[in-house]
Amino acid sequence: MPLVHPEIEEAVRRALAEDIGTGDITTNLCVPADAMATGRMVARESLTLAGVEVLPLVFVGCTVELKRLSGDYLKAGDEIARVQGPARALLTGERTALNFIQRLSGIATLAAAYVRAVEGTRCRILDTRKTTPGLRRLEKMAAAAGGAVIYRMGLFDAVLIKNNHITAAGGVRAALDRTRNAGVPVEIEVRTREELDEALACGATHLLLDNLTPDQAREWIAHIHGRAKVELSGGITLESARAYAETGADFLSSGAITHSARAVDINFRIE
């Protein structure tokens, strides 16, 4: 994904406007307009870094030197970036910069933990659309920095037939028949063995199995016997990911990577 994109630029612009409003009154009152400074951004815990690409967009008019890149593993004390410029600009942009980097690095760190949990299996970790509204591109970039596979950006670039689609369409066959010439990847969720067999009979090549136990998933995947790619989802935690990966699944997806990641501890110190 491109590191600079209009959606990212707009997200940063909105974040700055939200925080600054009519002006940073504390900084403007306390700090001389001509004062110059250097700011150092430093990790305060072990983490997988993400989002550093936004720093030049936050600190406009400053010199931003990136010491590490998105996807890098950092330990406590590792320097992330150094920013030089007007002290007012550094102070005004500090919180917005940290909000982005702490949040996105938290996602990357959790994604990397899921990837490590399934290491040695053939299973890969997928991200989901369970993202913060308006921040999807950034959060998916963060998941990718942690090693997750970006699945679909939205409703427009792949077909994912979920249980409600099947109900509204009139069944598995009806839904699949209407997507044969979609021109994009097609995946269908199946809830019962009957739906599974019907989907396979209709030529489905990518199946989503939701809310199964690892033992159930292993049984269903054995029945599929390589006739379709299999994604498992639903309640998959970091602790259970290994058991699900060892069922023979091709992919695991977990919304927790983006909707429940903890912001990591990063410091920005003015010198």
130 among known catalytic residues: yes
Q: How many helices (H) and strands (E) does the chain have?
A: 11, 12
The single residue of 197, 210, 246, 265 carrying the catalytic annotation is 210
> Rounded distance, CA 160 to CA 266, Å?
37
How many other CB atoms sit within 10 Å of the CB of residue 177?
A: 12
Beta carbons within 8 Å of 82's beta carbon, 6+ residues apart = 38, 39, 40, 41, 64, 65, 67
- Spell 24-62 as b/e; 16+ CB within 10 A means b: beebeeebeeeeebbbbbbbeeebbbbbbbbbbbbbeeb
Q: Are 39 and 58 in contact (CB under 8 A)?
A: no
Smallest Cα–Cα separation from 14: which of 63, 65, 54, 64? 54
95 among known catalytic residues: yes
The residues that bridge with 231 in the sheet, in sequence order, are 208, 251
75 among known catalytic residues: no
162 among known catalytic residues: yes
The single residue of 72, 94, 189, 231 carrying the catalytic annotation is 189
Smallest Cα–Cα separation from 270: which of 33, 98, 37? 37
67 among known catalytic residues: no
The single residue of 162, 173, 178, 229 carrying the catalytic annotation is 162
The single residue of 95, 129, 178, 229 carrying the catalytic annotation is 95
CA-based end-to-end distance of the chain: 34
Q: How deeply is 149 buried, as exposed, middle or buried, from its count of CB atoms within 10 A (0-12, 13-18, 19+)?
A: middle
Q: How deeply is 253 buried, as exposed, middle or buried, from its count of CB atoms within 10 A (0-12, 13-18, 19+)?
A: buried
Report, as residue numbers or ranges, the catalytic residues. Answer: 95, 130, 162, 189, 210
